[in-house]
C-alpha cells in the first residue's frame, strides 16, 4: 500500500519523518542501527494501528514517545487529532521538538518533557508502545485517561498474559479491557492493541 493511501496529503511528510528516523534517529541512538532498513513497516506503519481505536477529533497523549512512536505517524495520518508527545528524557524530548518543528506540526503536536506519573492532564486517548508491562503502565497512565477516554496500548504476543497480570489494577482504576487485533491496511501484519475504557 502506498504512502498516499496510508497518509493522504501527509504522505511526503511521513516519508521525511521515516528518513529522519533512519538517519538522525540512529545517530542519536534512538533507533537501533539494524532497524534502519525496516523503519517504514515496523515502526511508522505499525503505529497507525492506534488510529483504529481513536475517535474523530480526539486529544491524544503518546506516553514514552521516544523518537515519536506511535504519536507522530498517528498525527500525520489523522489531521483531526491534537497530539501530545510525552517523554521524560532530555535527549529524546529535544529530538522530538526538532522534528515537530521540521515537519511543521507545531500547531497541533506538543512535546512535553515529563514522566507520565508527574504529568497533570487528561486526554481522550492515552497511547503507548514498548514502555512498560500493563500493570505498571496502568498505574502511570490511568490518571491521564479522561472521563470518556481510553488507553490504547500497542502490545505484542504478551497481551493476554499482561491483561491477566493487570486484573487488580484494572479493578482499582475502574477500567475494562479488551484485546483487539488490527491490520493498518489489508494484507499487513496484524498488530495487537489492548484497549482499556472507563467503566
Specify the residue, 93 or 175, whose C-beta has the smaller distance to ligand SAM.
Answer: 93
Cα angle, residue 65 at apex, residues 14 and 133 outer, rounded to 5°? 130
Name the nearest CA neighbour of 153 among 70, 81, 44, 75.
70
Specify the residue, 2 or 90, whose C-beta has the smaller distance to ligand SAM.
Answer: 90
Q: Does 66 bind ligand SAM (CB under 6 A)?
A: yes
What is residue 190's DSSP assignment?
Answer: P
- Cα 187 from Cα 93, distance rounded (Å): 34
Q: Does 153 bind ligand SAM (CB under 6 A)?
A: no
Specify the residue, 35 or 165, whose C-beta has the smaller distance to ligand SAM.
Answer: 35
Least separation in angstroms between CB 71 and ligand SAM: 8
Least separation in angstroms between CB 116 and ligand SAM: 4
Least separation in angstroms between CB 120 and ligand SAM: 13
In the window 86-115, what residues touch ligand SAM (CB under 6 A)? Answer: 86-89, 92, 115
Q: Does 121 bind ligand SAM (CB under 6 A)?
A: no
64 Rama class: left (phi>0) / alpha (psi -120 to 50) / beta: left
Least separation in angstroms between CB 30 and ligand SAM: 8
What is residue 160's DSSP assignment?
Answer: H
Alpha-carbon radius of gyration of the chain: 16
SS3 55: coil
Q: Does 173 bind ligand SAM (CB under 6 A)?
A: no
Q: Is the dihedral of CA 156, 158, 164, 168 positive or negative?
A: negative
- Cα 189 from Cα 182, distance rounded (Å): 9
Specify the residue, 78 or 129, whose C-beta has the smaller distance to ligand SAM.
Answer: 129
Whether the Cβ atoms of residue 70 and residue 127 lie closer than 8 Å to each other: yes
Least separation in angstroms between CB 170 and ligand SAM: 19
Q: Does 162 bind ligand SAM (CB under 6 A)?
A: no
Binding site for ligand SAM (CB under 6 A): 63-67, 69, 86-89, 92, 115-117, 129-131, 140
Amino acid at each position: 500500500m502506498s504512502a498516499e493511501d496510508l497518509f493522504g496529503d501527509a504522505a511526503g511528510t511521513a516519508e521525511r519523518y521515516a528518513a529522519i528516523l533512519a538517519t538522525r534517529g540512529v545517530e542519536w541512538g534512538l533507533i537501533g542501527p539494524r532497524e534502519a532498513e525496516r523503519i517504514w513497516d515496523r515502526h511508522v506503519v505499525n503505529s497507525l494501528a492506534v488510529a483504529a481505536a481513536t475517535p474523530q477529533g480526539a486529544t491524544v497523549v503518546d506516553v514514552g514517545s521516544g523518537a515519536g512512536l506511535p504519536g507522530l505517524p498517528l498525527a500525520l495520518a489523522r489531521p483531526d487529532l491534537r497530539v501530545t508527545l510525552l517523554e521524560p528524557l532530555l535527549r529524546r524530548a529535544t529530538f522530538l521538538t526538532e522534528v515537530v518543528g521540521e515537519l511543521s506540526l507545531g500547531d497541533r503536536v506538543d512535546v512535553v518533557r515529563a514522566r507520565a506519573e508527574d504529568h497533570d492532564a487528561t486526554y481522550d486517548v492515552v497511547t503507548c508502545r514498548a514502555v512498560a508491562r500493563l500493570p505498571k503502565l496502568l498505574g502511570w497512565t490511568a490518571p491521564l485517561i479522561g472521563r470518556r477516554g481510553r488507553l490504547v496500548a500497542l502490545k505484542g504476543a504478551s497481551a493476554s498474559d499482561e491483561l491477566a497480570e493487570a486484573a487488580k489494577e484494572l479493578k482499582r482504576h475502574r477500567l475494562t479491557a479488551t484485546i483487539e487485533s488490527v491490520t493498518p491496511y489489508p494484507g499487513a501484519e496484524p498488530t495487537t492493541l489492548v484497549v482499556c475504557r472507563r467503566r
